[in-house]
Amino acid sequence: MHFTDLGLRAEILRSISEQGYDTPTPIQAQAIPVVLEGRDLMAAAQTGTGKTAGFTLPILQLLSSRDTGLSLKRFKPRTLILVPTRELAVQVHDSVRTYGKHLPLKATAIFGGVGMLPQIKTLRAGVDVIVATPGRLLDHVSQRTVDLSGIEILVLDEADRMLDMGFINDIRKILALLPKQKQSLLFSATFSDEIRGLATGLLKNPASVEVARRNAAAEAVAQSVYHVDRDRKKELLIQLIDDHGWHQVLVFTRTKHGADALSERLGKAGIKSAALHGNKSQGQRQRALEDFKRLKVNVLVATDIAARGIDIDELPHVVNYELPNVPEDYVHRIGRTGRAGSSGQATSLVCVDEHKLLRDIERLLKKDIEKRVVAGFEPDPRIKAEPIQKPRSARSGQPRTAAPAGQRKPQRQGQGGQPARNGGNPRRGASHHTGARHH
C-alpha cells in the first residue's frame, strides 16, 4: 500500500512526498481510512509507530474538504488535539504544519512554561487546529481567550500518559466544554481499565485499531542488564561510555535531583552532558535537546516526564540508570531507540534495591533480559536492599490515574521543553520547519 491509495488530496500527498516517504506504517494504513470515514477511533500504538501522522494526515484532509477558504468558523478552532507534555505538543504541531503547508489551514501549540500573550494573539487571529496541554488550555478557557464551541474533531494523544500524570479531572472539564456532536479519536500505548472507562464515555461506536503486541518492547532493541552496587553506578556508567565509545546516550533517572547530580558527575569525568527535567526553563530544555541532537553534548540525563515526546533519528543508546517504578515506563523508555527500523541498545544498571522492579519488567516482557557483570564492579552480596522512594501518588495511596482535582504541580512538571525533530518522517510524526508556517 502507498499513501496514494488512501484517498488523500494532492496537497497532502505533495507534502508527504517532499519528506521522502510514500508507504504508510501499519497504524497509518489502518487509522487513516477510519478517520476519513468520520468514525470515532480507539487506537493502541506505541510511540515510534507513526501514530502522529496517522491522525494528522486524515484530519487535514477532513478540514480542507469541508472548508477550503476563510470563513467565520476560522475564528473558532475546529480541531483540538490534547497531549500530556509540551514536548509532544511541539512535535504534533510540527506534523500538522509540515503536512498541511500546502493547505489554507492554520495551527498553533498551546502549553505552559511560556508567556500567554503570544498564544492569545495567535488565537485571536484565528486557527483551525489547536494542539494543547490540558492545564494551559484551561488557563485560556478561564481567561476567555479560546472558544471551544466549534470543535469538530477531538484527539486525545497518549491518553495513558495523561491519566498517569493526573490530568483526568482537567480532561473532564475540557470535554464538558466541547460540542456533543464531534468526531473523537483516542490514542494510547495501552488499554488499561481507566483508559477503557474514559473511552466508553467519550467514543461512540468506535473502530478499534491495535498495532504490535500490547506492551511490546521494540524488537530492534538489544536489551541488557548490568548488576552493580547502587553507589558504583556512576563509575560504571562512565566506564561503559568510555570503553564502548558511546557518542549519543539518553540516560533515565527517577528524580530531577538525580539527573542534575549525574550530569554534573559525568561532566567532571570529561563527558559532555546535560540534564533535562521539569525544573528547567523552556529555553534550557530546548538548548539541551538541540545540543544533544547535534552531538554538542554526548549524554542527556532525563526524567521520564521530561523525556516524553523526545524523538531523535537513530538514537543508538538508552541507559536506565535507575529502573522505573512502573514496568510499562521501561517499555516507553527503551522505545526511544530502535525506532522506524533502526537498531538500538538499551542498558540497565540494576542494584539490589531494584531486583523486584526488574522481575516485574521481565514478567511484562514475558522474557528474561540478558544479565552482565563488568569485572571490578561485581555486586557486594553483603549490601542489603533499601526501599525505593515511590512517586507521590503511590506514597499517598492514591492510584496514579486519579490525582486530586486542581493538583497542577505534576502537570506543570510535564509541560516543558522542545523535542528534537526528525526531518518530517511521517513514520514518526514530527518534522522540520522547512517551508511550514510559524504560528
Q: Where are the domains of the chain?
A: 3-210, 221-391
Q: How far is Cα 113 from Cα 282, in angstroms, rounded to an integer?
A: 6
Classify domain 3-210 by CATH architecture: 3-Layer(aba) Sandwich (3.40)
Q: How far is Cα 380 from Cα 328, in angstroms, rounded to an integer?
A: 29
Going by CATH, does the domain composed of 221-391 fall within 3.40.50.300? yes
pLDDT of residue 411: 38
Angle at 316 between CA 313 and CA 320, to 5 degrees: 115
Q: How far is Cα 117 from Cα 283, in angstroms, rounded to an integer?
A: 17
Q: How far is Cα 172 from Cα 187, in angstroms, rounded to an integer?
A: 17
Which residue is it, cell 489502518? Answer: 30
Q: Name the strands in the sheet holding 207-210, side by side, starting at the edge strand that comes first in the sequence.
A: 107-110, 129-132, 79-82, 153-156, 183-188, 41-44, 207-210
How many CB atoms within 10 Å of residue 286? Answer: 18
pLDDT of residue 61: 96
Average pLDDT for runs of 10 along the chain of length 439: 91 91 89 95 81 94 73 73 91 94 94 92 94 96 95 94 88 95 91 84 91 60 94 96 94 94 96 90 83 93 76 86 88 78 86 95 90 93 83 38 35 37 41 33
Q: How far is Cα 19 from Cα 30, in angstroms, rounded to an integer?
A: 21
CA dihedral 28, 342, 327, 324 (to 10 degrees): -120
Which residue is it, cell 526553563? Answer: 281
The pTM (predicted TM-score) of the whole model is 0.63
**DSSP characters over 313-369:** TT--EEEESS--SSHHHHHHHHTTSS-TT--EEEEEEE-GGGHHHHHHHHHHHTSPP
pLDDT of residue 66: 75
pLDDT of residue 379: 93
Q: How far is Cα 293 from Cα 93, in angstroms, rounded to an integer?
A: 19
CA distances from 372 to 223, 279, 344, 368, 379 (A): 11, 34, 18, 12, 11
Task: Please name the residues in contact with 394: beta carbons below 8 A apart, sequence gap of 6 or more.
Answer: 325, 400
